């Protein structure tokens, strides 16, 4: 169940007051909990699951550092992104213009459907501010 609050905001075009859904604060599910949860549904131990995920994290970071995108099955893809300052011409653009490297995540079509507002498995609960 996705819990949300209704918050007042402004329409960016007209400036009129409008009301929007904002997700309620959530509890973070940590790797240790996921590993334990997975281990209860299969024959792999929680320690083995953590070891595999740790190795996968290292490999994903390495591939992103090499400029590659990484697709994780039904979850989606991670791709490196760049933030840079502009140069007046391509010839004057130097590596020092690159200020930050980031990562974008693009969910797969399966994940988009699974998290879609129209999916009957997705339920919402409106919270009331106290």
The size of the chain, in residues, is 130
Fold topology of 2-126: HU Protein; Chain A (4.10.520)
Q: Tens digit of pLDDT for each residue in 79-95?
A: 999 999 999 999 999 99
Rounded to 5 degrees, φ, ψ at 92 are -90, -5
Q: Tens digit of pLDDT for each residue in 101-114?
A: 999 999 999 999 99
CA distance 24 to 50: 29
Nearest to 81 by CA among 60, 101, 107: 101
Report residue 70's pLDDT band, with 50, 70 and 90 as the boundaries: very high
Contact 77, 70 (CB under 8 A): yes
pLDDT of 130 strictly over 90: no
Half-sphere exposure of 71 (CA within 13 A, CB side): 6
Q: What is the pLDDT of residue 11?
A: 87
Q: Tens digit of pLDDT for each residue in 6-53?
A: 999 998 899 899 999 999 999 999 999 999 999 999 999 999 999 999
pLDDT of 129 strictly over 90: no
Q: What are the Cα distances from residue 5, in Å, to 114, 126, 130?
A: 22, 6, 11
């Amino acid at each position: 169940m996705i819990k949300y609050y209704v918050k007042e905001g402004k329409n960016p075009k007209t400036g009129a007051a409008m009301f929007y859904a904002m997700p309620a604060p959530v509890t973070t599910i940590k790797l240790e909990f996921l590993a334990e949860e997975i281990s209860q549904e299969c024959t792999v131990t929680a320690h083995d699951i953590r070891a595999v995920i740790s190795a996968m994290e290292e490999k994903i970071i390495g591939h992103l550092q090499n400029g590659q995108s990484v697709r994780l099955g039904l979850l989606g893809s991670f791709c490196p992104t760049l933030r840079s300052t502009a140069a007046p011409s391509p010839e004057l653009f130097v590596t020092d213009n690159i200020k930050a490297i980031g990562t974008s995540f693009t969910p797969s079509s399966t994940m988009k459907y699974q998290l879609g507002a129209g999916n009957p498995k997705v339920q919402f609960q409106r919270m009331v501010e106290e």
